[in-house]
Each structure stands twice: as structure tokens, then as C-alpha cells.
Amino acid sequence: MLTVDFSRFPLAAGDRVLDLGCGAGRHAFECYRRGAQVVAVDRNGEEIREVAKWFAAMKEAGEAPAGATATAMEGDALALPFPDDSFDVVIISEVMEHIPDDKGVLAEMVRVLKPGGRIAITVPRYGPEKICWALSDAYHEVEGGHIRIYKADELLGKMEAAGLKPYGTHHAHGLHSPYWWLKCAFGVDNDKALPVKAYHKLLVWDIMKKPLATRLAEQALNPVIGKSFVAYATKPHLPVDAAQ
């Protein structure tokens, strides 16, 4: 289930991609399939080991084209072990709402992104997220949980202040907001509640089968209750006189 829309965020074979806070690796895997040179970074060592196993399995199965590479490594988003201007593309999906120093993370991503490079940032959308917080303290008052809710203008303003030039936004996962509202209402850890189980079954069916009915429903729901806000930006080239 991808949050980044690659039709709006072009990726060329051979692009060097950083998936920061990669989690289970969904965007890193897609970039690898598209022929990129992928570096997936996360602070969770267990998840990184799983991502590395999947990279190896994908290579063995021939899922990635010739020239594509994939590396998974533990790392700190506030102190990335890469030189300046290392990546053509940076993706950070559903991560910044967890990090107290979000400005520091933005600065690090801009530092390692090449001039002219592209960045995709996704965070929980303000409206649906506010409902989750109102329904359940356990949803966000946990170690490593969500510590802020972004308004769209706030996130875009921080991106611009970090030196990025936003060029597009959209919302994603409209079908998923009701699921999380149910989870929050019946208990975040209560997967046995009938409405939660039934809705989860619907989401699994949607992800596996991609039926036209749910595709159309999600397209209609995304602008209204899309769970994620997605922003795309570029790192401008320096003016010629500033680069000298």
C-alpha cells in the first residue's frame, strides 16, 4: 500500500533514493522495482533486518531490473551518515509526526538531497488525525507515538523554510480513516471487536484484489477524509553567482 503517488513523483532508473524511516519497506521496495539505487534507513533494527531479507528475496526472484541496488541500514534521521548532495530522491513517509525535532530532520534531508532533487513527505492528515486523538489517548500517548498533528500549511511552510520548493500535494488512503476511527473507538489494541475485524477484512480485500468499486470509492473519499497528506518538493539549484 503506497502513500507516495509515483505518477506525480517521477522516478528514473538509476536514481539514488533514500527512504528515511522506511519501516517495513513498502516505498523502498517499489523504488527498487523501478530500477533505483535504494538506501532504506530506519532506527528500528528488527525492521531493517526484515527489509534486508526482502531486498535479497526480490533480487533472487528477479523483481528488480539490472543496475538496481538496495541497501538497508540502521540510522538516525538527525545525523545521517551520508555526504552532502548524495541522493536524487528522498522519501519520508509517516515519520515526521513522531520526531520532536522535525526541523532538524528536514535540514538533514535537504543536506543529503542533490540540487534539483525531489522529496516526498507524507504525514497523517489534520482532520482524520484529530478525530483519532479525540477518540483515544492510547492512540498517541505511547512511547514513539504521534507527538503532533500537522496542518497542511504548517508542513508546507516548514518545507519552504528548510529551502525546499513544494510543487504538489494530495491526500491518500480515504478508506483507511474509518478503520482507525473504529480502532480508536473500540480500543487501539482490540482487534477482536466485530466492526474492526469486518473493516480490516474489507481493507485486506481491497489491497489484494484492487476491485474497481473500492478504487472509485477511495478516489472519492481521498479529498474528504484521506488519512494521509502528501507533499512533493524540489531542492532548487543554487544561482550561478552563489555557486561560485
| CATH code for the domain of 231 | 3.40.50.150
* Residue 115 covered by a domain: yes
Cα 227 from Cα 244, distance rounded (Å): 44
CB 74 within 8 A of CB 48: yes
Q: Which residues pair with 122 in a beta bridge?
A: 93, 230
Q: Is 100 part of any domain?
A: yes
Which of 149, 147, 95 shows the shortest CA–CA distance to 127?
Answer: 149
The x, y and z cell numbers of residue 182, run together, are 473504529
- Euclidean distance between CA atoms 90 and 112, whole angstroms: 9
**Alpha carbon separation from 197 to 6, 182, 201, 202 (Å, rounded):** 31, 10, 6, 9
Range(s) of the domain holding residue 126: 76-173+227-235
Q: Say if 241 falls within a structural domain.
A: no
Residue 46 covered by a domain = no
For position 239, what pLDDT does the model report?
A: 63
Q: How far, in whole angstroms, is CA 204 from its chain's centroid?
A: 20
CB 62 within 8 A of CB 37: no
Q: Is residue 98 part of a domain?
A: yes
In a domain, 127, yes or no: yes
Question: Which residues, 6+ apart, have CB-to-CB distance to 43 below 8 Å?
Answer: 21, 74, 75, 76, 77
Q: Is 102 left (phi over 0), alpha (psi -120 to 50) or beta?
A: alpha
| Domains held by the chain: number | 1
Q: Residue 207 burial (CB < 10 Å; 0-12/13-18/19+)?
A: exposed
Write out the E strands in 33-124.
37-42, 69-74, 87-93, 113-124
Which residues pair with residue 16 across a beta bridge? 37
pTM: 0.94
Question: How high is the pLDDT of residue 243?
Answer: 45
pLDDT at position 237 is 86
User: 93 lies in a domain?
Assistant: yes
Residue 90 belongs to a domain: yes
Rounded Cα–Cα distance for residues 61 and 70 (Å): 14
Each residue's pLDDT, cut to its tens digit, for the chain (244 residues) gives: 899 999 999 999 999 999 999 999 999 999 999 999 999 999 999 999 999 999 999 999 999 999 999 999 999 999 999 999 999 999 999 999 999 999 999 999 999 999 999 999 999 999 999 999 999 998 998 878 899 999 999 999 999 999 999 999 999 999 999 999 999 999 999 999 999 999 999 999 999 999 999 999 999 999 999 999 999 999 998 764 544 4
Angstrom distance (rounded) from CA 187 to CA 197: 12
In which residue are the cell numbers 541522493 written? 87
